[in-house]
Amino acid sequence: MELLYDNNRRFMPTSHLPERVYIWDETLRDGEQSPGVAFHADEKVAIARALADAGVTVIDAGMPIVSADEEEAIRRIVELGLPCEVGVTVRCHEADLRAAQRCGVEQVYMFLSVSPLHMRCKFGMQDFGELEQTACRMVRLAHAMHLDVTFIAEDSTGACPEDLCHLLHTLYGEGVWRAILCDTAVRIPSPLAFHAFCRHIIAHAPEELIFGVHCHNDLGDANANTVLAVMAGVTVPTVTMNGIGERAGNAPLEQTVLTLEKMGVRTGIRQEALYELSRLVQRCSGIPLAMHHPVVGLNAFRHESGIHAAGVLEDPRTYETILPEEVGRQREIIFGKHSGRHQLAALLKAHGVEASPAMIDELLSMVKQMKEQQSHVPLEEMVSTLDAYYRAHFGIPNEVILAQAKELAAHGGVYAA
């Protein structure tokens, strides 16, 4: 992968980049699989509306087989008639397909593990041929039910590449036109290795097959892996708002979109809608963002350090990769231990306060002293409160489940009327 300068003397990769990618959002499915998260139906509808308004191409609305409430929420989303593709995730089970059909969707995202480890541990399969037969049988059944199928190759990076490519050729022959490569267990050692993996699979798959990618953030590489997959030929990156998802989450929509846009790849996303979308997902999921979360985190456009603040006040391009207004944000200059004279003078001038250099020095000394003497007790209490909040509200405690089990057992396995 060679590099060259763009018109602004920035290094850019020379690998072939698509002019456009199609953002596939998984907030309502994989995002909701964040431990302890359960969106209410009204929340799922609100998030779906906001995602469509922001310009996503595909919304995975969830897994209807999970519960009756999930099925009803998906049905409501489908009935909105949003200007994007709305589908659901299904296992290779007829019951899942029937549930999808009841929701009124036309698209199903059928996943099946393709690595030897998953085949053995999850399905008791030793033969890849058996897995291939299962996949083909379920694709045919879905098509007979007038459901279009995207195949999701779970744990792609743990699969034998030759077996995976053979499966993709076979499924393409069965009418599957889109496939998603997944780094389910993050088995690839580096983003560059993941780029090479994606290039290899795409090069040996049917030329007409459209590829997506689904990356997890266990090692903090989800955005990098997703962007490098696009550089390898993927045109459908899957993401979640705020990066929520199982374990350490998924590739964050906001980070992937901004990275690709800065590389000259159009995503179709209204970037100015990202901040409010992020806030909505925070409220509905109950997962607040880290202050330093890129793009939509509190500190993304806040400056305290005197050197940085002075530069930004002179020209934002000195320290800001993107301008806050691009993503519906505002810049903030805050004051603390590392503040400098320039930002303090700018504050006073903006409020019509005339100050001599000596006065500014005195004020600056006072600001630094106040911050250094500020008690950390509230910070410690906040950390403890947040930890207690997560433990209390994210997941049903074991003791509650055990108490319910004992009550059931006392009534012969059935609740008393």
Both structure tokens of 279: 């806030």
* Statement to judge: residues 245 and 385 lie in one domain: no
The 3-class SS string of 19-30 reads: CECCCEECCCCC
Cα 179 → chain centroid: 18
For the cut 50, the answer to whether the pLDDT of residue 24 exceeds it is yes
* Statement to judge: residues 85 and 193 lie in one domain: yes
Q: Tell me the residue type at 18.
A: P
Per the domain annotation, does 174 fall within a domain?
yes
Select from 243, 259, 285 the last residue of a domain: 285
CA distances to 108, 188, 215, 224, 252 from 220, rounded to whole Å, are 29, 13, 10, 8, 11
For strands 11-13 and 178-182, give the pairing. unpaired
* Statement to judge: residues 117 and 79 lie in one domain: yes
Q: How many domains does the chain have?
A: 3
Per the domain annotation, does 1 fall within a domain?
no
Per the domain annotation, does 12 fall within a domain?
no
Mean pLDDT of 150-168: 95
Predicted confidence at residue 417, as pLDDT, reads 46
Q: Looking at 285-289, 299-303, 388-392, which range is the least confident one?
A: 388-392
* Statement to judge: residues 320 and 219 lie in one domain: no
* Statement to judge: residues 193 and 158 lie in one domain: yes
Select from 285, 310, 341 the last residue of a domain: 285
Per the domain annotation, does 191 fall within a domain?
yes
* Statement to judge: residues 187 and 307 lie in one domain: no
For strands 210-214 and 85-90, give the pairing. unpaired
96-134, pLDDT tens digit by residue?
999 999 999 999 999 999 988 888 888 787 788 999 999
Q: Which residues contact 306 (CB under 8 A, 6 or more apart)?
A: 338, 339, 340, 341, 342, 343
Q: Rounded CA gap, 403 and 109, in Å?
A: 37
Per the domain annotation, does 394 fall within a domain?
yes
Report residue 166's pLDDT band, with 50, 70 and 90 as the boundaries: very high
CB-based contact 188:157 (threshold 8 Å): yes
Eight-class DSSP state of 319: T
* Statement to judge: residues 240 and 308 lie in one domain: no
Select from 240, 259, 285 the last residue of a domain: 285
Domain encompassing residue 402: 377-410
* Residue in the block written with tokens 């690839």: 188
Both structure tokens of 407: 């009550």
Mean pLDDT over each residue of the chain, to the nearest integer = 92
* Statement to judge: residues 106 and 243 lie in one domain: yes
| CATH code for position 72 | 3.20.20.70
66-103, pLDDT tens digit by residue?
999 999 999 999 999 999 999 999 999 999 999 999 99
Per the domain annotation, does 29 fall within a domain?
yes
Per the domain annotation, does 10 fall within a domain?
no
Closest-CA residue to 238 (of 108, 92, 59): 59
For the cut 80, the answer to whether the pLDDT of residue 399 exceeds it is yes
* Statement to judge: residues 387 and 363 lie in one domain: no
Q: Rounded CA gap, 237 and 109, in Å?
A: 14
320-341, pLDDT tens digit by residue?
999 999 999 999 998 989 998 9
* Residue in the block written with tokens 């033969």: 127
Per the domain annotation, does 352 fall within a domain?
yes
